């Protein structure tokens, strides 16, 4: 039973980031996407997004994404360390 649960969770996680539509690649606010990833404590994923969007000849703007990610990750660190705003 535990192995099935682990497998199901892993499969769900992979499915969640396995693809992006052309519309998503073209219309995503990359600053906000970076900020969302950073606030979640994730490493920057611009390389993943660039790979996923390359099939549509779309190159996400790394500078916008990384600026958002840096702001989000700074917020994540404040929350984790217990700093008050």
Per-residue pLDDT of the chain (85 residues; tens, 9 = 90+): 555 545 444 444 444 556 999 999 999 999 999 999 999 999 999 999 999 999 999 999 999 999 999 999 999 999 988 765 5
Q: How many residues does the chain have?
A: 85
Distance CA 76, CA 70 (A): 10
pLDDT given at position 83: 60
pLDDT given at position 2: 57
pLDDT given at position 18: 61
Q: What is the DSSP letter of 43?
A: P
69 near 35, Cβ under 8 Å?
A: yes
């Amino acid at each position: 039973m535990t192995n099935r649960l682990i497998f199901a969770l892993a499969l769900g996680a992979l499915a969640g980031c396995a693809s992006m539509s052309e519309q998503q690649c073209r219309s995503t606010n990359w600053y906000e996407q970076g900020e969302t990833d950073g606030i979640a404590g994730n490493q920057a994923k611009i390389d993943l997004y660039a790979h996923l969007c390359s099939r549509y000849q779309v190159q996400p703007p790394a500078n916008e994404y990384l600026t958002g990610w840096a702001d989000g990750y700074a917020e994540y660190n404040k929350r984790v360390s217990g700093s008050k705003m």
